[in-house]
Structure 1
Amino acid sequence: MSQVPAADATLRVLSHLAGARGPLPAAAIASALDLPRSTVYHLLSVLQEHGFVVHLPEARRYGLGVAAFELSGGYARQEPLSMLGRPLLAELVDRVGESAHLAVLHGRDVLYIVDERAPRRPHLVTDVGVRLPAHLTASGCAILAALPAGQLRALFPDQASFVDRTGHGPKRYRELRQVLAQTTQDGYAREAGGVTLGLASVGVVVRDHTGWPAAAIAVTYDADAGLDPAWLAREIHPAAAELSRRIRGR
């Protein structure tokens, strides 16, 4: 039980609105959160005054305001995900002796936000700021496997959506679904030669407080090194779980 119930209720209202498909009636918010309607109306009024909520009088609904959007912009500017993930990746690299990176989904691509290189390992193209086709990377497939089917289909509506780099990797939606089904079954994603011939990667998803795939951690290695992907996944999982915990603020 929170020691500051008003703050707890306010944050719950904001979180509920953020997870909704669109603006909601106050009564629906109260029912979903098991809060008194009078409390919800008071909270919405205060949030509206500060710009975190907007009231749509004709529809009798409430949605997130500009101030809530500004919070997301502040989050992006401060780059907390990369700051939280960097020390975990450094420890992971020390354990496995291979290079590791942290990536987030950006459209149909993954965007690399942390890149930790192991000494005397193969050169990689995954520098910070680099974007690569998600379906060709282990980090991308780890994230894609955790998306709802409808969103996945929207990202890859036709064969033209599938960029090719080396001739390896899924080239149509059916093949991608097979790869992602295997990822879900194994609990980690794999790729070999999809980005760079001769290199392979293992990726594990990082989830936020709602269970949404916020990012993925991957390790890349020489495909001929004889490393066991399952072993690498077991080494990555604790780092991914810890980053998930840190994202949640607990």
Structure 2
Amino acid sequence: MTKVPAADATLRVLSLLSRQRSPLPAARIASELDLPRSTTYDLLTVLVEHGYVLHLPQERRYAIGPAAYEVAAGYARHAPLARVGRGVVERLVDATGESGHLASLSGSDVLYIVEERARGRTSLVSDIGVRLPAHLTATGRAMLAQLAPAQLRTLYPGRQELLRRTDAPSPTTPRQLRELLQQVRTDGVAWESGEVTDGFRSVAAAVLDQAGWPLAAVALTWESSRSEEDRGSLLAERVREAADEIARVVSGRRPG
């Protein structure tokens, strides 16, 4: 098969950036891929225009962009993540007796790709194919906490007021959201209480790939009236275990 040089180089650039935890300068990209600098800059310019790469002018560096996550989300909906995730979520629900779900990040929304309601539990808004604002959900917060600061600034620019669904306290500015995500990184899980649906609480953990980027997040949701501190801690541990199990199967990532 004849190789198309421009397409080959473009895909190599995207593959390189997708494996990095920090943005790279153009010179490093050119060196790593053995590309001429002029070609590298031309490719990066086009990729930035289409949203597949982020340019950070002050740092003179480049990172994977939000459009690339849209492609990843599309893959996740139709490929191993959804199939593997369904089995893990079903076992999680059976073990805990609470409803569970798996969601991927799509821009500033979460997209639910697996939903499993526990026997005797109320139906939730997080049905398959439903989108909700990522900053309000436990699954969204778990994934957002794993993004680079530049990616968060792209998704939540300026001082915009963030959407609320209920009267429960929730972040209303990007700054408040960043502070909340710092706590998520410290805890290793994300919580949500009454911010999506009154009377319900959720805990979620991110499913990470080999580079530490969020592929998805797995969560459990239960009625707040049945919530106890020890119970919440147990469910948090269970979603962490489930997220690691999915990551091991889908990307080969070791737990922890």
Question: What is the TM-score normalised by the length of structure 1?
Answer: 0.73
Q: Distance in 2 between matches of 1:235 and 1:73?
A: 24
Identify which of 237, 240, 244 aligns with 1:237: 240
Which is higher, the Rg of structure 1 or of structure 2? 1
Structure 1: how far apart are the matches of 2:131 and 2:85?
Answer: 18
Q: Which letter maps to 2:191?
A: R
Q: Which amino acid aligns with 1:153?
A: R
Q: Secondary structure at the match of 2:179?
A: helix
1:109 matched to which residue of 2? 109
Deviations 1:161-214 (CA, angstroms, capped at 9, x unpaired): 511110221111222122212211111100101000000000101101211011
Whether 2:31 is the aligned partner of 1:28: answer yes
* 2:123 is the counterpart of 1:96: no
Indicate the residue corresponding to 1:224 in structure 2.
Answer: 225
**Structure 1 segment 39-118 matched on structure 2, within 5 A:** 59-61=38-40, 75=75, 78-118=78-118
| Equivalent residue letter for 1:122 | T
**CA 1:174–1:76 in 2, change beyond 3 Å: closer, same or farther?**
closer
Residues 163 and 187 of structure 1: is their aligned pair in 2 closer, same or farther, counting only changes over 3 Å? same
Instruction: Specify the SS of the correspondent of 1:190.
Output: strand
Alignment correspondent of 1:132: 132
Aligned to 1:35: none
Report the counterpart of residue 52 of structure 2 in structure 1.
none
- Please tell me whether the aligned partners of residues 22 and 63 of structure 1 are also in contact (alpha carbons under 8 angstroms): no
Q: In structure 2, how many angstroms separate the alpha carbons of the residues matched to 1:197 and 1:98? A: 17
2:175 is matched with 174
Q: Distance in 2 between matches of 1:77 and 1:195?
A: 23
What residue is the counterpart of 1:46 in the other structure?
Answer: none
3-state SS in 2 of match to 1:89: helix
C-alpha distance after superposition, 1:128-170 (max 9, x if no partner): 0000011110001111111111211221114445111102211
Q: CA deviation at 1:73?
A: 9.7
TM-score normalised to structure 2 length: 0.72
- Please report how far the alpha carbon of residue 15 of structure 1 lies from its aligned counterpart in structure 2 after TM superposition: 3.6
Question: Structure 1 160/89 Cα, relative in aligned 2: closer, same or farther at 3 Å?
Answer: same
Matches within 5 A, 1:139-218: 139-168=139-168, 169-218=170-219
Contact 2:189 2:204 in 1 (8 A): yes
The question of 1:121 aligning with 2:130 is answered no
How far apart are residue 26 of structure 1 and its match?
A: 8.6
Q: Which moved more, 1:16-25 or 1:181-190?
A: 16-25
**Structure 1 residues 202 and 12, CA gap change in structure 2 (3 angstroms):** same
| Partner residue, 1:6 | none
Measured on the aligned residues, the alpha-carbon RMSD in Å equals 3.2
Alpha-carbon separation, structure 1, partners of 2:101 and 2:235: 13
| TM-aligned CA deviation for residue 16 of structure 1 | 2.5
Identical residues among aligned pairs (%): 45
Unaligned 5+ runs, structure 2? 1-10, 45-67
CA distance in 1, matches of 2:190, 2:113: 19
CA offset at residue 80 of structure 1?
Answer: 2.0
Q: What secondary structure sits across from 1:224 in the alignment?
A: helix
Maintained 8 Å contact 2:76/2:82:
no
Counterpart Cα distance in 1 of 2:165 and 2:130: 15
Residue deviations 1:20-49 (CA, integer Å, cap 9, x gap): 76987896126xxxxxxxxx7xxxxxxxxx
Asked whether the 8 Å contact 2:98–2:118 carries over to 1, the reply is: yes
